[in-house]
Structure 1
Amino acid sequence: MLQVRIEITYRTKNGAEAEFSSDYMEAEPALVIARDLEKTERMKQLTIIDTYDVSWTLKQLTKFMEKVKTEPHDIVVYFDGGFDQNTQKAGLGCAIYYKQDEKSYRIRRNALVEGLISNNEAEYAALHLGLKELELLGVHHLPITFVGDSLVVINQLNDEWPCYEAELSKWMDRIEAKTEQLGIAPTYESVSRKKNREADQLATQALQGVEITSHSEQ
Structure 2
Amino acid sequence: MLQSEFDIEYVTEKSVKGQAISDNLAKHALPDYIPIKTDLPHEDLFVIEDPTWELYFDGVRNEYGTGVGVILCTSEKKMFPTAIRLNFSCTSNAAEYEALIAGLENACELQIEQLRVTGDSLLVINQINEEWKVKVKKLQLYWDSVVKLSKCLKKATFQHVTWENNRFTNTWATLTSMVDIHPQMSVQPFYIRHKSDSSPPKMELEE
Alignment identity in percent?
Answer: 24
Q: Which residue does 1:149 correspond to in 2?
A: 120
- Number of aligned residue pairs: 144
SS of residue matched to 1:78: strand
Q: Which residue does 2:78 correspond to in 1?
A: 105
**Equivalents in 1 of 2:89, 2:101: separation in Å?**
13
Q: Deviations over 1:38-96 (max 9, x none)?
A: xxxxxxxxxxxxxxxxxxxxxxxxxxxx9x85xx9221111100123x45x42000111
Residue 61 of structure 2 aligns with an amino acid whose one-letter code is F
The Cα RMSD (Å) is: 2.9
Deviation at residue 137 of structure 1 after TM alignment: 1.9
Q: Which residue does 1:96 correspond to in 2?
A: 72
**Equivalents in 2 of 1:131, 1:215: separation in Å?**
22
Q: Is the 8 A contact 1:105 1:215 kept in 2?
A: no
Q: Structure 1 segments of 4 or more deviating over 3 A?
A: 210-216
**Equivalents in 1 of 2:173, 2:119: separation in Å?**
12
Q: What is the TM-score with the length of structure 2 in the denominator?
A: 0.61
Q: Deviations over 1:167-214 (max 9, x none)?
A: 11111101111111x134221111110110011001101102277664
Relative to structure 1, is the Cα distance of residues 215 and 184 closer, same or farther in structure 2, using a 3 angstrom cutoff? farther
Match for residue 174 of structure 2 among 204, 212, 216:
204
Q: Deviations over 1:113-132 (max 9, x none)?
A: 13342000000110111112
Q: Select the structure that is richer in strand.
A: 1
Deviation at residue 215 of structure 1 after TM alignment: 8.5
Relative to structure 1, is the Cα distance of residues 156 and 212 closer, same or farther in structure 2, using a 3 angstrom cutoff? farther
SS of residue matched to 1:200: helix
Q: Which residue does 1:167 correspond to in 2?
A: 138
Q: Is the 8 A contact 2:108 2:153 kept in 1?
A: no
5+ residue gaps in structure 2?
1-11, 13-45, 194-207
SS of residue matched to 1:160: coil
Q: Which residue does 2:51 correspond to in 1?
A: 73
SS of residue matched to 1:188: strand
SS of residue matched to 2:130: coil
**Equivalents in 1 of 2:150, 2:160: separation in Å?**
19
